[in-house]
Structure 1
Amino acid sequence: MTDAGYEELVAAAMAAPIEGWDFGWLSGRAEGSEPSWSYPEIARAYIATADRVLDVDTGGGELLASLQPLPRHTWATEGWLPNAAIARDRLEPLGVTVVPTAVGERLPLPDGSFDVMLNRHGSLAAGEVRRVLRPGGILLTQQVGSEDCADLNEVLGARPAYTTGCWTLQAASEALRAAGLKLIRAEEENPVLTFYDIGAVVYHLRLVAWQIPDFSPERYESALRRLHRRMCSEGRLDVHAHRFLIVAER
């Protein structure tokens, strides 16, 4: 089997723009990774009765904007400056205050400020969750677990992105309970993520840069070409995502 089409697919994936947290380029090239629950539906139910909402690590604000109508008092934080600028352009016309943050630092927001904290795939600091929520306030978070797409690293011969078992439903639940929050809902799943061509794999690894931190098509060329031939033969590559959902109350 030859490597026909390999260069074109990889070149297209490398040339495709990456902006905010938008997987639109992968439409038709990859699908899956969504768990059985619908995070947007759950989020809409909570913000419908909230007065003050915070979206942590909003990315480019794509998901938060899709949850309109938003409460009049809505804030969003974002730690990556290019995304913060995109989020401001998207969210400020909707009345959302976007606050740049630094990873690992205290949120620049007052104690006891929010009825609902949304956090989809963002940094989850249990102490900060408790601090900024009002008594009775709700945290809704969907997290990417430490086993996410580990089989992709394996097939490319890359080191695991995380230590096995370091970020799971159990680990996050214990941290939140220790901070004084009460868990209302907790679920964990490993949905399948399917890639249909090697370009989709390359683009995914560009966008999710922490999956293989030293990734480049040149560095992993031999493994990528082997995977390309396999995908041409089998028509797809299935890997397993790792997602968990927590609803917690202060």
Structure 2
Amino acid sequence: MRSGGPYDQLVSEAAGISFTNWEFGWLDGRTTVAGPSWSYPALAAPLLRAAGSALDLDTGGGELLVELAPLPAHTVAVEGWAPNVAVARDRLAPYGASVVTELPGGEDEFDVVLSRHGRLPAADIARLLRPGGTLLTQQVGSDDLADLNAELGAAPPYLRTWTAATAVAALEAAGLVVTDVREERPPLTFADVGAIVQHLRAVPWQVRDFTPERYDRVLRRIDAMIRRDGPLTVTAHRFCVQASRR
């Protein structure tokens, strides 16, 4: 990769970012995310206030649960990515939440199950929810940033269709009653090519063979386009589902 110009400086900076959890502060001011019309924390908070127990799937570094504190007396967070486990335990210990690396094995244990951009194992959720318990999930749909992949000439980000309809079908097949469904495709804007590189390094499933070197030619083209025409806007895909156990 050639070096010395503004493009190379942006890409070199992006390549030097290290990631320990799902905090994206280094993108502040360089990406603009409209977000869906709903607020996931605003939907989750009243559920937790009324609950005696809660399970958070794929908690990352525990950022969301801290935002939602105070937490139910029995709160368990699941996180399977090793670099995040220690971060989540340190962050959540003062709030009385335990962090485990596998789904609990019992039944009828939790009043609330949360999954924000995490797994949605419908049968396990049905098993773990108490009768009358509630699931709240916000998911990244399979169309997420698909136009960014197209711009890069990369394969689509997801091999299966993942939409509100497919999630609802899975939850209902597991015996849950779906009570609310929302789905939107808000815009996401990248101010410079470095922000694109940072984003793709942070979420490696978006373009699975991504390296700045492999995509150097097309990234330079996008960099020139941004400098000429302004920020690159692509489309996110989010949906939110609430369900309960009979």
Q: Bin the TM-score by the shorter chain.
A: over 0.9
Larger deviation: 3-12 or 45-54?
3-12
Tell me, in whole angstroms, the C-alpha distance in 2 between the residues paired with 1:109 and 1:240: 38
Tell me, in whole angstroms, the C-alpha distance in 2 between the residues paired with 1:109 and 1:142: 23
Shift of 1:93: 2.1
Structure 1 match to 2:154: 158
Q: Percent identity?
A: 53
- Give the RMSD, CA atoms, in angstroms: 1.2
Shift of 1:67: 0.8
Change (3 A) 1:44 1:73: same
Tell me, in whole angstroms, the C-alpha distance in 1 between the residues paired with 2:209 and 2:159: 17
**Runs of 4+, deviation exceeding 6 Å:** none
The amino acid of 1:86's aligned partner reads: V
Gaps of 5+ in 2: none
Any idea what SS the aligned residue of 1:134 has?
Answer: strand
Deviation by residue 1:58-115 (Cα, 9 ceiling, x = unmatched) = 01111111111111211100111111111111111211100012xxxxx234111000
Tell me, in whole angstroms, the C-alpha distance in 2 between the residues paired with 1:9 and 1:118: 37
Structure 2 match to 1:104: none
Residue 124 (str. 1) matches residue 120 (str. 2): yes
Instruction: Kindly indicate whether the alpha-carbon contact (under 8 Å) linking 1:33 and 1:240 is maintained by their aligned counterparts in 2.
Output: no
Aligned length: 242
Instruction: Kindly indicate whether the alpha-carbon contact (under 8 Å) linking 1:32 and 1:194 is maintained by their aligned counterparts in 2.
Output: yes
- Choose from 195, 211, 214 the match for 2:209: 214
Structure 2 match to 1:149: 145
Structure 2 match to 1:74: 75
Structure 2 match to 1:8: 9
Tell me, in whole angstroms, the C-alpha distance in 2 between the residues paired with 1:203 and 1:90: 24
Gaps of 5+ in 1: 102-106
The amino acid of 1:74's aligned partner reads: T
Any idea what SS the aligned residue of 1:231 has?
Answer: helix
- Choose from 167, 179, 188 the match for 1:184: 179
**TM-score, with normalisation over the residues of structure 1?**
0.94
Shift of 1:6: 0.4
The amino acid of 2:163's aligned partner reads: T
Deviation by residue 1:142-162 (Cα, 9 ceiling, x = unmatched) = 000000000010000101111
Structure 2 match to 1:60: 61
Residue 243 (str. 1) matches residue 238 (str. 2): yes
- Choose from 107, 124, 131 the match for 1:135: 131
Tell me, in whole angstroms, the C-alpha distance in 2 between the residues paired with 1:235 and 1:17: 27
Structure 2 match to 1:111: 107
Tell me, in whole angstroms, the C-alpha distance in 2 between the residues paired with 1:153 and 1:172: 23
